[in-house]
Structure 1
Amino acid sequence: MNDRAAGTNLDTVRRHNLAAVLGLVHREGPLARSALTQATGLNRSTVGALVAELGELGLVEEREPGANNRVGRPSPVVVPAGRVVAIAVNPEVDAVTVAIVGLDATVQRRVRYPTGHVPTAEEAIAIVSALIDGLRPALAAASRVVGIGVAVPGLVREEDGVVRLAPHLEWTEEPFAAELAAATGFSVLAANDASLGANAERLFGAGRGAADVVYLNGGASGIGAGVIVGGLPLTGISGYAGELGHTLVNSAGVRCHCGAIGCLETEVSQRELLRVLGMDAADADELSRALSAAVGSGDQAVVAEVDRQLGFLATALRNATNVFDPQLIVLGGFLGALHALDPERLPRLVSEQALAASAERLSIVRAELGSDILMIGAAELAFGPLLASPAS
């Protein structure tokens, strides 16, 4: 009886240590065995055995280190296996995007399919299935496909991936994860797009090393947000926390999709920026270039709209600063493009309105992952079970 209990405890410790080592390599990238030994507090032989087991599972690879000036034999470098992949999906109001993302957080392939209209859930599933079929040769080259992660611009119930409400997509109570799994044969997990973007930036982008982060993303489907508190995502009881796009910024504003008046995403929108720029559609990079050119040339209509939107955005960020006391606010999508026009302006506007004590250590930055952010975030969701239990 005691022997069995001891064996179970040892196996539990081994599984925990496997997850710890794989998580470090996944998040930090190539790490020498000596660095893993230091980071985990385990002895060299234990780390060596764990790395060997992860190698047998096909989750990491060992490489010879580069030249250095240290005395003695350098430690082998452990890297995450890029041939272990996840499929990332992001349905939006004007397109459906599918990507292949490696365990090394590299976006290997990405395909964006413009829809020309707001897709129904059924249409989005058909498009995703077709795009995955087109990616079969690339998937066949992978050593393992862990499943699909979906970044949805709306409220997603955490336990089953049901899209409770995605107002811009006009989806309500859609069992999207289950139906996509049935259509593709892959396991599927789904969550709010901004929450996944926040996690991606925390792990691999501008938020690395920060424990308290507010992330806001602006896109064709409105404004979403994710909040990291003490290094952990703030989800709420059902996974709906962080809807800063639906906070009040203008009591004299227009009615939002959600039914309220003057929400952030009705006052700060990509659609209005495209309108004053005379553009029908653009991705974040194209919009950023167009805004920069228009403001640089002194286009008064664009300058006025930028000023208006930055004012309302500053109000929302003041609220986020006062409520969450973050170290960092990260802006993605067109919000990042607005901020990049004058990186000192938004921090100044926020500091003028927020509580002085909350704003004094705050930094506001543009997201670093660019157009890859939601793909990496959705893939991270799919990798979650593997990272938690590599040997399962």
Structure 2
Amino acid sequence: MSNASGVGRNLDAVRRHNLATVLGLVHRGGPSARSAITHATGLNRSTVGALVAELVDLGLVTEREPGTSNRVGRPSPVVVADARVVALAVNPEIDAVTVGVVGLDGTVHRRVRHPIDHVPTAAEAAAIAAAVIAGLRPDLGAATRVVGIGVAVPGLVRESDGVVRLAPHLEWVDEPFAEQLAAATGLPVQAANDARLGAEAERLFGAGRGTADLVYLNGGASGIGAGVIVDGRPLTGVSGYAGELGHTLVNSAGERCHCGAIGCLETEVSQRALLTVLGLDAADPDELDLALAAATEHGDEDVVAEIDRQLGFLATALRTATNVFNPQLIVLGGFLGSLHAVAPDRLASLVARQALGASGENLAIVRAELGSRILMIGAAELGFAALLAAPAAPTAPTAPTAPTALAEPR
């Protein structure tokens, strides 16, 4: 190989790295002036201009004129990730399959929750997701590119191939869900644990923005999951199973968990127990917030006692998370966010009393900001990952294949 050819390859590698850097900045940071990109990357103005022009040609960003400014000189054009480049997000649960369409700019264009009257098999969930995606064709018709599907699974997922090793509430064991969904839609599919994806979404776009060390716990119909960010990077473990704080021991005299252990966090702190004491069959986060607030305001003793009981066990788990990971931030999503909203000072006080003083001295406990969008945004990040790492023109079909029929309820 000649020296010239080696230099050419090195320069091309640098260009591709810089393309990914610029696209990542506008994807995660929002609309950015060219001058801000120049400052953030340390590249010169002409190089940034050429990179932005290439990303425009690839259909990944657009440029717009800046707003009015008091600064001297011509204002710099604003670079925006193109919302018409989309990823699909899928979240199978015990009572529904939710599908979203998310733009490269972070906009959740659509979110469709398809309720189910039974716990779905993996094959049923894949068929339902594919049918919902097919129903979203009018929305996808406005997209210039559909890059793929990201799946947020409430369970242990082998991220190398999207096999769900164990999702106890769904009763899935070693299910090749990513492969099934790819076959049903004709699109590339990546899957990961839902809480891990929620942690990434909150770190990049929500309450944890700019925070390098955080723990995210999500409470939903399928129990409690957690994701951990250490020094700006997700803690995955050797196979992607790290962060199972839902199975932290909080009550040695408690009930047996789905996992086989006694007194796990998710057996003692549950959405179902809250709904039962409130006399509700189901509630979305806003409805649960209102119901808890009304019950506590009226002094409903049963509800107040259940809130106190759950906060106590939650604090025990957060003590463990604080001592083990020494995070700057603990973010609570789903019904855990509703619990926190009822008595934020009480939860912080309980954790401070139990955790090591040095580990918790810089800790804040907050509610997730992204609400119902969190898993859609987190799952979409999986779908966008390959494009963000190597921006390129489309090489695969930009729309899903013909739908798979919805499975009939059992």
TM-score, normalised relative to structure 2: 0.95
1:138-161 deviation line (CA, Å, top 9, x unaligned): 111100000100000000001000
| 1:358 matched residue in structure 2 | 359
Correspondences of 1:55-134 after superposition (within 5 Å): 55-134=56-135
Is the counterpart of residue 50 in structure 1 residue 51 in structure 2?
Answer: yes
The aligned amino acid for 1:95 is A
Q: Please, which moves more after superposition, 311-320 or 117-126? A: 117-126
Report the Cα distance in structure 1 between the residues aligned to 2:223 and 2:283, rounded to whole angstroms.
14
The aligned amino acid for 1:23 is G
Report the Cα distance in structure 2 between the residues aligned to 1:296 and 1:144, rounded to whole angstroms.
49
What SS does the corresponding residue of 1:71 show, helix, strand or coil? coil
1:288 to partner: Cα distance: 1.6
Is the counterpart of residue 249 in structure 1 residue 250 in structure 2?
Answer: yes
Report the Cα distance in structure 2 between the residues aligned to 1:82 and 1:36, rounded to whole angstroms.
19
Q: Please, which moves more after superposition, 328-337 or 342-351? A: 342-351
1:244-264 deviation line (CA, Å, top 9, x unaligned): 000100000000000000000
Report the Cα distance in structure 2 between the residues aligned to 1:58 and 1:283, rounded to whole angstroms.
37
Is the counterpart of residue 238 in structure 1 residue 235 in structure 2?
Answer: no
| 1:184 matched residue in structure 2 | 185
Correspondences of 1:82-231 after superposition (within 5 Å): 82-231=83-232
1:208-245 deviation line (CA, Å, top 9, x unaligned): 01000000000001000000000000000000000000
Report the Cα distance in structure 1 between the residues aligned to 2:285 and 2:19, rounded to whole angstroms.
38
The aligned amino acid for 1:151 is A
1:155-212 deviation line (CA, Å, top 9, x unaligned): 0001000000000000000000001100110100000000000000000000001000
What SS does the corresponding residue of 2:73 show, helix, strand or coil? coil
1:347-392 deviation line (CA, Å, top 9, x unaligned): 1100000000011100000000000000000001110000000026
What SS does the corresponding residue of 1:112 show, helix, strand or coil? strand
The aligned amino acid for 2:262 is I
| 1:300 matched residue in structure 2 | 301
8 Å CA contact 1:331–1:366 kept in 2: the answer is yes
Report the Cα distance in structure 2 between the residues aligned to 1:25 and 1:334, rounded to whole angstroms.
32
| 1:287 matched residue in structure 2 | 288
What SS does the corresponding residue of 1:378 show, helix, strand or coil? helix
8 Å CA contact 1:147–1:187 kept in 2: the answer is yes
The aligned amino acid for 2:136 is L
Report the Cα distance in structure 1 between the residues aligned to 2:355 and 2:313, rounded to whole angstroms.
13
Alignment RMSD, CA only?
0.6
| 2:275 matched residue in structure 1 | 274
1:96 to partner: Cα distance: 0.5
1:25-56 deviation line (CA, Å, top 9, x unaligned): 00010000000000000000000000000000
8 Å CA contact 1:15–1:391 kept in 2: the answer is no
Higher relative contact order (CA 8 A, sep 6+): 2
Report the Cα distance in structure 1 between the residues aligned to 2:384 and 2:8, rounded to whole angstroms.
28
The aligned amino acid for 1:364 is I
Is the counterpart of residue 262 in structure 1 residue 248 in structure 2?
Answer: no
1:122 to partner: Cα distance: 1.2
Report the Cα distance in structure 1 between the residues aligned to 2:290 and 2:246, rounded to whole angstroms.
24
Report the Cα distance in structure 1 between the residues aligned to 2:263 and 2:163, rounded to whole angstroms.
27
Q: Please, which moves more after superposition, 278-287 or 143-152? A: 278-287
Report the Cα distance in structure 2 between the residues aligned to 1:172 and 1:284, rounded to whole angstroms.
29
1:345 to partner: Cα distance: 1.2
Q: Please, which moves more after superposition, 113-122 or 38-47? A: 113-122
The aligned amino acid for 2:270 is S
Is the counterpart of residue 17 in structure 1 residue 7 in structure 2?
Answer: no
Report the Cα distance in structure 2 between the residues aligned to 1:357 and 1:65, rounded to whole angstroms.
46
8 Å CA contact 1:89–1:99 kept in 2: the answer is yes
| 2:407 matched residue in structure 1 | none
1:292 to partner: Cα distance: 1.3
Gaps of 5+ in 2: 394-410
Gaps of 5+ in 1: none
Report the Cα distance in structure 2 between the residues aligned to 1:238 and 1:130, rounded to whole angstroms.
31
Report the Cα distance in structure 2 between the residues aligned to 1:108 and 1:343, rounded to whole angstroms.
32
1:268-302 deviation line (CA, Å, top 9, x unaligned): 00000000011111122221221111111111111
Report the Cα distance in structure 2 between the residues aligned to 1:293 and 1:390, rounded to whole angstroms.
50
Report the Cα distance in structure 2 between the residues aligned to 1:238 and 1:289, rounded to whole angstroms.
40
- The sequence identity of aligned pairs, in percent, is 78
| 2:368 matched residue in structure 1 | 367
Report the Cα distance in structure 1 between the residues aligned to 2:297 and 2:42, rounded to whole angstroms.
53
The aligned amino acid for 1:67 is T
| 1:38 matched residue in structure 2 | 39
| 2:398 matched residue in structure 1 | none
Report the Cα distance in structure 2 between the residues aligned to 1:282 and 1:87, rounded to whole angstroms.
25
Is the counterpart of residue 345 in structure 1 residue 346 in structure 2?
Answer: yes
1:279-327 deviation line (CA, Å, top 9, x unaligned): 1111222212211111111111110000000000000000000000000
Report the Cα distance in structure 2 between the residues aligned to 1:307 and 1:150, rounded to whole angstroms.
34
